[in-house]
Structure 1
Amino acid sequence: MLKFFDILALPFYCAIIFWLSHQPSLPLPMLFEYQDKLHHATAYFFMGILASRTIRHFVTSPFILAIVSIVFCSFYGMSDEWHQSFIEGREADSLDWVADTIGATLAMLLMMRFYSYPKLN
């Protein structure tokens, strides 16, 4: 049952990000400069965790798991920025993509440091 949840959680989260990216604007007050980069890093931090939970069912090496999870999140972030370039009121920003990748990387660094990977079948 855990494998089923893990595998469904990632595409569900990706769909939420896609939906949010498809909105012309998000009703978030800007409290400080580059706040959106923090939002991106935080969102992709959680995506990194979900990606690793999904991918761990197929990869046994923690290092490979971390790399594949980061690459997945980075490519999704890149495709998300490309998607936003077609939405009126939105724009693609390479710094958003960098923030996405940094968020996923931080998640993987913390998971590699503090989480022991059980063997899953």
Structure 2
Amino acid sequence: MKQTETTSNSFRYRRLLRFLPAVAWMSVIFVLSSRTGDELNTLLPWFQKMFPFMEDFNWGHFVSYFILALTIDYGIGAKADRIRMKAVIVLLCGLYGITDEFHQSFVGGRMLDPLDLRNDLIGAALCTALIAVPPIRRLWRKAAR
């Protein structure tokens, strides 16, 4: 009986540890969202010169939430292959995106922008769609063990 309890607790602990990358990435997003408009304006022009095609689309939000969806998928594990779980991943990313936009509204030179939320959702949805492609899914599951 005690051996089963220990094994069960160990399994739960390992499952929780798999969500650490998602929590860490959410922290990165939070820190980046805390940057003022002036701080961002020193980085964005340089970035846009390197990638001029990125002018009309906020790729930072897209990439950030693509990675967030990837880390949440990793935390969930093989169950994330189910279509409902993919919807949950996109929903969780969207909810975090809403809190991110709300947080930005309190930072100087930043504002709540529905287009940023759109880009968050596009990044998360594209990530979950790519992971659903069978050859990519096999590689991802193998790497995420």
User: How does the TM-score come out when normalised to structure 1?
Assistant: 0.83
Equivalent positions of 1:57-76 (< 5 A) are 59=79, 62-76=82-96
Q: Tell me the residue number matched to 2:125.
A: 105
Task: Count residues with an aligned counterpart.
Answer: 116
More helix by share: 2
Is the 2:81–2:132 Cα contact (8 Å) retained in structure 1? no
Aligned match of 1:46 in 67, 71, 77? Answer: 67
SS at match of 2:22: helix
Question: Given the alignment of the two structures, is residue 10 of structure 1 paired with residue 22 of structure 2, yes or no?
Answer: yes
Alpha-carbon distance between aligned partners in 1 of 2:67 and 2:80, rounded to the nearest angstrom: 21
User: How does the TM-score come out when normalised to structure 2?
Assistant: 0.71
Give the alignment's Cα RMSD to 1 decimal.
2.2
Unpaired runs of 5+ residues, structure 1, are: none
Percent sequence identity over aligned pairs: 28
Q: Structure 1 counterpart of 2:56, which letter? A: Y
Q: Structure 2 counterpart of 1:28, which letter? A: L
Aligned match of 2:108 in 68, 88, 113? Answer: 88
Alpha-carbon distance between aligned partners in 1 of 2:80 and 2:117, rounded to the nearest angstrom: 28
Unpaired runs of 5+ residues, structure 2, are: 1-12
- Sort the Cα spacing of 1:92 and 1:6 in 2 relative to 1 into closer, same or farther, 3 A: same
Is the 1:55–1:69 Cα contact (8 Å) retained in structure 2? no
- Sort the Cα spacing of 1:60 and 1:97 in 2 relative to 1 into closer, same or farther, 3 A: closer
- Sort the Cα spacing of 1:54 and 1:62 in 2 relative to 1 into closer, same or farther, 3 A: same
SS at match of 2:99: helix
- Give the superposition deviation at 1:38: 1.3
SS at match of 2:44: coil
